[in-house]
Chain A
Amino acid sequence: MTFELELRGITKRYPGVLANDAVDLAVRPAEIHAIVGENGAGKTTLMSLLYGLFPPDEGEIFIRGERVEFSSALEAIAAGLGMVHQSFKLFPTLSVADNVVFRQEPRRRGLIDRAASVARVRELADRYGLAVDPEAVVEDLPVGVLQRVEILKALYRDANVLILDEPTAVLTPQERDKLFEVIRRLRDAGGTILFITHKLGEVMAISDRVTVLRNGRAVADLVTAETDPAEITLHMTGRAVDLDRRAPEHEPAQVVLKVDSLTVIGEHGRPAVADASFEVRSGEIVGIAGVAGNGQSELIEALCGLRETDGGAVSLVGMEITGADVAGRRSAGLAYIPEDRYAVGTIRQASVSENLLLGHHRNPSIQHRGWFDRQAVARLARRLVEVFDIKAGSVSGPVSTLSGGNLQKVVVAREMEQGTPLLIAEQPTRGLDIGAIEFVHGQLVRFRDQGGAVLMVSAELSEILALSTRILVMFEGRIVADLDPSKVAEPEIGLYMTGAHLEKAVA
């Protein structure tokens, strides 16, 4: 048979790294083909090679039996490939239709025919069951809809093969289910979908076949119906892992963090955090669930001193820190794993050891009167690299060469090392592979078991459910629920996350 898409012996080398090692991939027409692997396994590189972003060192690409060589993404698009990136590439102030037809606008007498573009986008959306209003302005739309706009962009350019890169990372469970419907409909209409993910549940739910990458090699090509998550995990990691580790029973001890009626006014003058009150005790992990953009980031930034508050009080181990600056809060006993490990948590131009110091560089154990004890710094860095198993060439090498998982280990190592009473962990495992997720979860649990208090924000409900002692749900800046994870199911949390509980209450 002719494959829709076939990669043969694709190899890509970077100095010292074999990113893709003779990868074979065969995708049949009208199938949903999942590509799974840990971060650093070579998924992103493989897709970039396929999409013409840079050429492979060796190997061939065939589309419907014909050998192709792309020197740019434009050529890949012309050959019928469409990619939906994880970060959306849309013009926020333009309409959905304008975004979709961009650079291929229908024209009439040399001018853009707006009516025709709206009509064509509407027709396309209806055909594939993508619920999108072509005339809506992009910046007013929720994330799930933006993703549909990206899919429409690809379909408008006649994509036969749609590549979705970690498409569910930003979606609520309900949005995810809708996306799956769309994907199935596309397949039934004859489209081929490459679905990149590291979530096994999604692989099982949506894919027809699955290719597993590990260390740059394609180690397995499986029919989904004939395999199970355990087998895939084994291929991904080379060993078995257990993610569903429930929090053990324990007694919550004294209050570490006390937040009282905290209000933060957001960018548009509306409260981003409204009257939030809660406590975190030592020996517990409090998970904050919610769809991204419902005030979690603002709440955390306010707690960490990175954002001004507009009412309420915060205290840390009994000490009032409402007006303290970042340094003051850190020395009062706050550690913080930020959401964005690339733009905030680490400094890409700095070395591994410089990154391991950040935020604790005034600690008297490594500096005297403003001069670093260089041996103490080196010892600290070497010890953290060893204890947390950070895979770095050298501690004085640039941190930018580390993989995502190792970068997060740098952040986790740095923040955990200080033995503070409170750890705030914001999306601590986003974008990480299973091995790294397991590691970070293990560290959070260890921190809790040593008597630390953890406040965790996560968009992953499974993560919240697996780790939390209590679950707070944020919706539109308010804490709308305080739940016991042993007595609540995922769909119920989803209702709170989307505000549906409010409608229920009214009805």
Chain B
Amino acid sequence: MLRRFPDFLGDMSRRALVSPVTFSLFFAFALAGAIVAVTGGDPLAAGEEMVTGAVTGSGLRNTLGRAVPIVGMALAVSIAFRSGIINLGGEGQMVIGGLAGTMVAIYVPGPGYLIVPLAMLAGAVVGAVWGLLPAYGQTWLRLPILITSLLLNYVARAVTGYLVRFHLLDDAVTLTSTRQVPEAARMPKMPVFGGVSLSLILVMVLVALLWMVYTRSVAGYESQMTGFNMRSARYGGIDVEQRTVQVMVVAGAIGGLIGTHLIIGEALRFIDGELVLAGFAWTGLLVSLLAVNRPIPIFITGLFFSGLQIGGLAMQRNAGVSWRLSQVLQAVVIVAVACRLSVWRSERRRAEPSEADAAGVGEV
């Protein structure tokens, strides 16, 4: 029945042209340009500042730096989504893991090459445990992960806030903050583009690893099949509950790694409430959705969003256009991609007379 298109390359370029992403980007930038023009600015100058601000000099370093948490959190949420698990607890897993990693970095003495990995490990373990709670809630008590993981974000905020305020407070500063991470226990920076955190490598390794897992491992296969169709997965002997627990452990661990990185690699102190301000978990969620939960597209999309944010700041500095315009851009891209996707889907559904209708018997 199915015939492949004879001209494969032609088909690829045609698909790229009609791809919702291409259209959405074009639309989003056109709209943003219009907004700048209407408010009396010069859209071309603003655009130029945005691009140069994102990819040149310290801008490139900042773009790469910010891509670490965005891509990382997107990866964490993507593995849950691929298994059909709506894990909205990335933020909590990141915050609580981040504090655990920070505590190791501050209080455990030793050389950096031991303490940094140990801190990351501690962050991952505690993040994983935080992911386990909603997982067991679902498999044992049938509490939906969607709800519990989301609510545990607030618990994580409160717990870390309490610990920082009453047990880990640094009296030397006026912030509600832990002490500074000692020099030796900080995430090293690589001597490229003016100092990019080593965590970028970690994130790239994660991208490659997840790509491997999903293209050629039994675990990836089982996760993906579960996400596609849970009934079929059970029929195929896949232990859906066990997979749920495993996926939440890995997602939580990645969250904890990113949280730890954000302190020992960027902020250097755990300031109460600070970690959630940038909304990396939520930006990551959007990135994952746009990239349809695939690791390599997540990396590219994450870099793009990071560049938008950094470039937006540069645009404000140099072209006098508010950085919020880049948030508008981000929002328009998301809405446009989502709309195009749904239009495309419903066209397809109409075009194919459903074979499933022929199978549905006795449906009342």
* A interface with B by C-beta (< 8 Å): 14-17, 19, 39-40, 44-45, 48, 53-54, 85-88, 90, 92, 138-139, 143, 146, 166, 169-170, 292-293, 304, 306, 325-327, 329-330, 336, 338, 340-350, 354, 357-359, 361-362, 367, 370-372, 374, 391-394, 397, 401-404, 406-407, 430-431
Contacts and interface: CB of A to CB of B under 8 A. Distances in A.
Nearest to B232: A347
Contacts of B355: 44, 342, 403-404, 407
A169 B235 CA distance: 25
B14 interface: no
A16 B351 contact: no
Contacts of A394: 2, 4
Interface in B115-161: none
B358 to A, nearest CB: 5
A345 B219 CA distance: 20
Contacts of B357: 44, 85-87
Interface string B199-239: 00000000000000000111101101100110111111111
Contacts of A343: 229, 231-232, 356, 359
Contact of B229 (A329, A349, A392): A349
4 cross-chain pairs, A with B, having the tightest CB-CB distances, nearest first? A393-B2, A87-B360, A16-B3, A327-B237
Interface in B348-363: 350-353, 355-363
A118 B4 CA distance: 55
B362 to A, nearest CB: 5
A293 B362 contact: yes
Contact of B225 (A350, A372, A401): A350
Given A326-B238, A361-B222, A372-B218, 14 more contacts: A15-B3, A16-B3, A17-B2, A44-B353, A44-B358, A88-B364, A170-B361, A326-B236, A344-B235, A345-B232, A348-B228, A361-B236, A371-B216, A372-B217
B93 to A, nearest CB: 25
Most A-side CB within 10 Å, residue of B217, B229, B231, B359 = B359
16 contacts: A16-B1, A16-B3, A44-B357, A45-B353, A86-B357, A86-B360, A87-B361, A138-B364, A292-B361, A343-B359, A344-B232, A358-B236, A361-B221, A372-B218, A397-B2, A406-B1
Contacts of B350: 54
Contacts of A362: 218, 237
B363 A88 contact: yes
Contacts of A14: 351-352
B1 A403 contact: yes
Given A327-B237, A370-B218, A404 B358 contact: yes
A370 B222 CA distance: 11
B238 to A, nearest CB: 8
Contact of A341 (B222, B239, B359): B359
B226 to A, nearest CB: 10
B364 A92 contact: yes
Contacts of B352: 14
Interface in B314-364: 350-353, 355-364
Chain A binding surface, main DSSP class: loop
B203 to A, nearest CB: 23
Most B-side CB within 10 Å, residue of A92, A170, A340, A402 = A340
Contact of A330 (B217, B228, B237, B363): B237
A304 B350 CA distance: 36
Contacts of B236: 326, 358-359, 361
B341 to A, nearest CB: 15
A401 B1 contact: yes
A402 B361 contact: no
Most A-side CB within 10 Å, residue of B228, B361, B362 = B361
Contacts of B218: 361-362, 367, 370-372
A401 B2 contact: yes
Contacts of B363: 87-88
Contacts of B224: 350
B356 to A, nearest CB: 5
Contacts of A19: 353
Given A341-B359, A404-B359, A348 B351 contact: no
Nearest to A39: B358
A341 B229 CA distance: 12
A55 B237 CA distance: 43
A34 to B, nearest CB: 17
A431 B221 CA distance: 30
A362 B351 CA distance: 37
Given A330-B237, A361-B221, A347 B229 contact: yes
A307 to B, nearest CB: 10
Nearest to A414: B236
A397 B228 CA distance: 16
Contacts of A85: 357
